[in-house]
Structure 1
Amino acid sequence: MAAATRAIAVASNTTASCLLFKRPLLLKRSSLCFKNPSGAKRLFSCRAIYNPEALQIKQEGQPETLDYRVFLVDNSSKKVSPWHDIPLHLGDGVFNCIVEIPKESSAKMEVATDEPYTPIKQDTKKGKLRYYPYNINWNYGLLPQTWEDPSFANSEVEGAFGDNDPVDVIEIGESQRKIGQILRVKPLAALAMIDEGELDWKIVAISLDDPRASLVNDVDDVEKHFPGTLTAIRDWFRDYKIPDGKPANKFGLGNKAANKDYALKVITETNEAWAKLVKRSIPAGELSLV
């Protein structure tokens, strides 16, 4: 059976948006449309499928310089986009997450969405490297194959438009992770941050290899086993720009964390937006689709 045919055949019996194989499988930005077990029809899109465990982290330049980049590469040293080429959904409510900022650090690292292979770099403002005014207390990263569409006004969150980036993840586990590390996480909650009028979702999740991962499966479990964490996350992201003289960020959905089901809804919608982006159904602008 041809590789692409095999992928589609397997996809018809799974909720996974992209499937893991031992070797990369190129689908040339093809789209898969199938029904999940609940009967809902959802569109997922794959370009290249990689087993994240086979990828390596490659650094170019020196940390805390304008030239510093963190790439993901396969076993032939080919660069792989952490945004486009890593599968999102692994089945059973588990997702891949790529770490951009390790906990207890302050350099504002992010995927360079406008550069080929979208490496991770330190953000800049007026040519200077950006740092948070204090350390972030959780691992911070992105969900691959998601995109917050800047042309879409979300009626549930004050009509705010997407921020043109992948969806952010706040991983609350105890271990400090590495830049570029790929984690298998389960979403627990969602915060609808509004940053200067743009909707910037924060998915609260935990890595499956964390010792307390089995204890938490929804927003109420976070309050029980990580008391105060959701409030601390909201307050941190609300206030981190204030030392720079900017106003506090706002939050929609009643200023509270939404539950797991809502987080999954956000992930599904932003994955579908990403699929339209890479199919070029929506203009990419300066975004790199490589």
Structure 2
Amino acid sequence: MATVARAIALAGAFHHCSHITIRSPRRLYHSCRAIYNPKVQIKEEGQPQTLDYRVFLVDHSGKKVSPWHDIPLHLGDGVFNFVVEIPKDTSAKMEVATDELYTPIKQDTKKGKLRYYPYNINWNYGLLPQTWEDPSFSNPEVEGALGDNDPVDVVEIGERQRRIGQILKVKPLAALAMIDEGEIDWKIVAISLDDPTASLVNDVDDVEKHFPGTLVAIRDWFIDYKIPDGKPANWFALGNKVANKDYALKIINETNESWAKLMKRSIPAGDLSLL
């Protein structure tokens, strides 16, 4: 694991942005028992900013469904579903409860207290359904780091603030390989198709052109946010570079395959809820 000093030094290097580029092969995405036309509604239980607060998704009949397992990942033509956990310009650390039935979204806790980021996150943040970062897989491309046992994270850079539990159609643009306490925690940079600038951005270079400084800001934010809590700074693998769209699609495909193995019980689930 990098030291705080090393990670902070890396943050400075990010101001000169460099990219990793790969070409994308044809891919097959896995989906189990997914709602292929997800007409779901958001159902809140409890009061926000309390330990009991949960955000569920329910189908047309009122049945609870999992935002992690039941919402399809791939919609075709490079478009994916994205579930919002943390709306833009908020600080409550919301996340899918991967160990609870139907995996609702809740506010994270530490020692029985609700967790907040030290400052607002500047983008909509959430997960790609039907993905999983396998904690038993040592990835040689990111210095052998193991997966963090969670779905893949998305940073959606559009201009609008979204709602907890909202499902957006997004297109991936780039990937960042964040190392958090020795584990790989992929960040897929994406934009919602209904954003006014969506047609202008299709890959990492377009992000630099139409959202100048955004990739640097994302990396700096994720490097620094744990420091006020006395934890080491995070850092980034892949030679501190931002990977392009095709690399992001590769990561999505690989973590979707890991999720499929998890759902088939080919990999032990541990405390994870598969319902």
Q: TM-score with structure 2 length normalisation? A: 0.90
Distance in 1 (CA, whole Å) between partners of 2:82 and 2:30 is 17
- Aligned ranges for residues 266-285 of structure 1 at < 5 Å? 266-285=251-270
Give distance in 1, aligned partners of 2:31 and 2:137. Answer: 19
Question: What fraction of aligned residue pairs are identical, expressed as a percent?
Answer: 85
Are 1:209 and 2:209 an aligned pair?
no
Question: How do 1:1-290 and structure 2 match up within 5 A?
Answer: 42=28, 44-52=30-38, 54-290=39-275
Shift of 1:233: 0.1
What is the CA distance between 1:41 and its match in structure 2? 6.6
Label 1:103 to 1:281 Cα distance change in 2 as closer, same or farther (>3 A): same
Letter in 2 for 1:260: K
Larger RCO, structures 1/2 (Cα 8 Å, 6+ apart):
2
Structure 2 Cα separation of the partners of residues 40 and 183 of structure 1: 24
Q: Note the residue ranges of structure 2 that are not aligned, 5 or more in a row.
A: 1-23
Secondary structure at the counterpart of residue 142 of structure 2:
coil
Secondary structure of 2:254's aligned partner: helix
Task: Give the Cα separation in 2 of the matches to 1:279 and 1:39.
Answer: 25
Cross-structure match for 2:10 = none
Q: What is the identity, as a one-letter code, of the residue corresponding to 2:70?
A: D
Displacement of 1:48 in angstroms is 2.9
How far does the alpha carbon of each residue in 1:180-232 deviate from its partner, in whole angstroms, 9 at most, with x for none?
Answer: 00000000000000000000000000000000000000000000000000000
The 8 Å contact of residues 29 and 74 in structure 2, kept in 1 or not, is answered as: no
Which SS does the other structure have where 1:209 is aligned?
A: coil
* Offset, 1:46: 1.6
Q: Structure 1: which 5+ runs fail to align?
A: 1-37
Q: Offset of 1:40 from its aligned partner?
A: 5.0
TM-score, scaled to structure 1: 0.85
CA distance in 2, matches of 1:69, 1:43: 29
Give SS of 2:243's match: coil
**Matched residues in 2 for 1:43 and 1:139: separation?**
24
- Determine if contact 1:82/1:98 at 8 Å carries over to the other structure: yes
8 A contact 1:43–1:275 mirrored in 2: no
Query: Structure 1 residues 235 and 67, CA, compared in 2 at 3 Å: closer, same or farther?
Result: same
Q: CA RMSD in A?
A: 1.2
State whether residues 91 and 118 of structure 2, in contact with CA within 8 Å, keep that contact through their aligned partners in structure 1. Answer: yes
Structure 1 pair 154–221 and aligned structure 2 pair: CA distance change class (3 A): same
Distance 1:133 1:51 in 2: 37
2:27 & 2:81 partners in 1: Cα distance? 22
Whether the 8 Å contact between 1:96 and 1:182 is mirrored in structure 2 is: yes
